[in-house]
Amino acid sequence: MKSAVVQLPGLNRDRDMIAALTKIGGKAPVTVWQTETEIPADVDLIVIPGGFSYGDYLRCGAIAARMPVMQAIKAKAEAGVKVLGVCNGFQILLEAGMLPGALMRNASLKFVCKEIRLEVTNAETDFTRAYEKGQILRCPVAHHDGNFFADAETAARIEGNGQVVFRYAEGTNPNGSLNDIAGVINERGNVLGMMPHPENLIEAAHGGSDGRGLFASALDVIAA
Ligand SMILES: NC(=O)CC[C@H](N)C(=O)O
């Protein structure tokens, strides 16, 4: 399976993401710059990593979402290619209208950088098959705009459809997110956005490997 990592000015988790995809998938992803208008035809997974695209000006992800590469990503998503956005990548997918809801300033109005507990609420997606429903993962977060919100109708719809894939486990919600929502998927099930950083918990040097299952699922390299 071939993956691609999107690069934009201000994103800074691209190298961690490239390392995770390479170590878990066995081959390096291609990189795609923001001005590119085409994604290579053989790419099956596109990842928008975290960081501070365009210095978080206007709103986190708002400028990045309007770059040419996003049209190419939208077209690929419509064709069924998997897309993963982590942290700033999640914000970009929301700003591009590819996922429901919005991310507001953290309830504390502070940047949070710590480890939280993440509950896998839907283990039947292409991104979470390596986990079990209800499994609790360790995972780091690092953001100031991670407070997920959706209007009542949207929230009821995504909850009812099983589109909430990850929740902050009880007592670990770091940002005030509605219903402890940490990650959501689109209705079709091929576009996932999440605030925590699974790429930063994949090996002993990170202090744990709970994030590996997400990449193993998305890259289709789950051990039998
Ligand atoms: N680590 C990240 O991707 C941070 C995202 C964004 N810049 C925020 O602080 O909310």
Give, for all 224 residues of the chain, the pLDDT tens digit: 899 999 999 999 999 999 999 999 999 999 999 999 999 999 999 999 999 999 999 999 999 999 999 999 999 999 999 999 999 999 999 999 999 999 999 999 999 999 999 999 999 999 999 999 999 999 999 999 999 999 999 999 999 999 999 999 999 999 999 999 999 999 999 999 999 999 999 999 999 999 999 999 999 998 65
Domains of the chain, by residue range, sit at: 2-218
Distance from Cα 121 to the centre of ligand 1, integer Å? 23
ipTM higher than 0.95? yes
- Measured from the Cα of 197, ligand 1's closest atom is 1
160: its two tokens: 């009812």
pLDDT score for 24: 97
Report how far residue 186's alpha carbon sits from residue 222's, in angstroms, rounded to the nearest whole number.
23
Ligand 1, atom 4, lies closest to the CA of 143
Give the per-residue pLDDT at 224. 56
Q: What is the pLDDT of residue 36?
A: 96
pLDDT of residue 222: 83
CA distance 199 to 100: 23
Cβ-based neighbours of 164, under 8 Å, separated by 6 or more? 121, 122, 158, 179, 181, 183, 184
Atom of ligand 1 nearest to the CA of 103: 10
**Domain covering 2-218: architecture:** 3-Layer(aba) Sandwich (3.40)
Residue whose CB lies within 8 A of the most ligand 1 atoms, among 57, 91, 149, for a mutation test? 91
How far is 128 from 222, CA to CA, in rounded Å? 10
The residue whose CA has the least distance to atom 8 of ligand 1 is 143
- pLDDT, tens digit, 9 for 90 and up, residues 128-157: 999 999 999 999 999 999 999 999 999 999
Question: What values do phi and psi take at 21, rounded to 5?
Answer: -65, -35
Count of alpha carbons within 13 Å of 96, Cβ hemisphere only?
Answer: 27
**Does the beta carbon of 142 lie inside 6 Å of ligand 1?**
yes
Report how far apart, in Å, the C-alpha atoms of 219 and of each of 21, 96, 104 are: 8, 24, 30
pLDDT in tens, 75-99: 999 999 999 999 999 999 999 999 9
Sequence-ordered list of residues with C-beta below 8 angstroms from that of 15, at least 6 positions apart, any chain = none
CA-wise closest residue to 99 among 198, 217, 188: 188
DSSP 122-156: ---STTTTTS-TT-EEEEEEEES--EEE--HHHHH
Cα of 51 from ligand 1 centre, angstroms = 5
